[in-house]
Amino acid sequence: MEIVPGIHQVDGVNGNCFLIVRDELTLIDTGMPRNSAKIVNYIQDILNRKPTDIKTIVLTHFHIDHVGDASDLKKLSGAKVAIHEADADYVAGRKTQPAPRGVKGMIFKVLIPLFFGSRPVEPDIKLNDGDTIAGLTTIHTPGHTPGSICLFDPVSKILFAGDLLMFNGSKIEMGSSLSDPDEVQQSIKKITAIDFDIMLSGHGIPLRPDASLKVREFAKSLP
């Protein structure tokens, strides 16, 4: 669906991913593995563009529901893959992704590689806080993962929030499976300095209008 002119969300990939449609295409996150065809079909059938029009794939963090199709889409498009430097070794396969604790962690270790294993992909660009990528400002927001980022588009005044926050239709929530809740809270407070009209997250639905005001109110409720 088109959220605002030039900003599209591809549905059905088990994790929100977004296309910025300008002279070149920028893809933010790639969903779970085995969904690359849905993204390609959207580009061809809805946008009337070619997969090779994707020039940049930006990953907000290393979790499988965000990087699952990055390798396939890089091969199809020739796009450069960008991720924060603290998460780069995880998507490249040089570090093993930590699993959740307890029973959920045991299920994760067994089922994820069996059914949803994603191919490692070597990042072309390692981002840091304040870097500009495809016209987007990188905001390092660690806590969910060490290298989690948000991306701010000054043209559309949209904040792509990754899994830092989500809006479920009635309230704002912090991302699930937090590795460091205190760090997440600091990251949330960090983005309150930005004025954005819409927040698009890795899960949930768009938060609009006056998204930054609503996030500031949410931040005030944190310890």
User: What local confidence, expressed as pLDDT, does residue 223 receive?
Assistant: 82
Q: Using alpha carbons only, give the angle 133, 92, 145 rounded to the nearest 5 degrees.
A: 70
The one-letter amino acid code at 136 reads: L
Reduced to 3 states (helix: H, G, I; strand: E, B; else coil), residue 1 is: coil
Q: Which residues contact 45 (CB under 8 A, 6 or more apart)?
A: none
User: 126 vs 180, which has greater pLDDT?
Assistant: 126
Most confident region among 21-35, 96-110, 165-179 by mean pLDDT: 21-35
Is the pLDDT assigned to residue 42 strictly greater than 80? yes
Is the pLDDT assigned to residue 108 strictly greater than 60? no
Least confident of 17-26, 106-115, 196-205: 106-115
How far is residue 30's CA from residue 16's CA, in Å, rounded to a whole number?
8
Q: What is the mean pLDDT of the chain?
A: 91
User: 125 vs 12, which has greater pLDDT?
Assistant: 125
Structure tokens at 219: 């931040």
Query: Percent of the chain, pLDDT > 70?
Result: 90
CB–CB of 78/67 below 8 Å? Answer: no
Confidence class for position 113, pLDDT limits 50, 70, 90: low
Q: Which residues contact 118 (CB under 8 A, 6 or more apart)?
A: 33, 64, 67, 68, 69, 70, 71
Strands 172-174 and 165-167: antiparallel
Cis peptide before 181 (omega within 30 of 0): no
Show me where the domains of the chain are located: 2-220
Give the residue-averaged pLDDT of 75-87. Answer: 98
**DSSP H or E run through 49:** none
Least confident of 56-60, 135-139, 174-178: 174-178
Question: What are phi and psi for residue 65, nearest 5 degrees?
Answer: -80, 5
Structure tokens at 81: 């893959």
CB–CB of 6/179 below 8 Å? Answer: no
User: What local confidence, expressed as pLDDT, does residue 98 receive?
Assistant: 74
How far is residue 120's CA from residue 90's CA, in Å, rounded to a whole number?
8
How far is residue 10's CA from residue 202's CA, in Å, rounded to a whole number?
11
Q: Which residues contact 199 (CB under 8 A, 6 or more apart)?
A: 158, 159, 161, 165, 167, 206, 207, 208, 211, 212, 215
User: What local confidence, expressed as pLDDT, does residue 109 receive?
Assistant: 53
CATH 1.10.340.30 fits 2-220, yes or no: no
DSSP 204: B
User: 90 vs 100, which has greater pLDDT?
Assistant: 90
Q: Specify the pTM.
A: 0.92
Least confident of 16-20, 94-98, 162-166: 94-98
* pLDDT per residue as tens digits for the range 115-172: 445 689 999 999 999 999 999 999 999 999 999 999 999 999 999 999 999 999 999 9
CB–CB of 57/87 below 8 Å? Answer: no
User: What local confidence, expressed as pLDDT, does residue 7 receive?
Assistant: 98
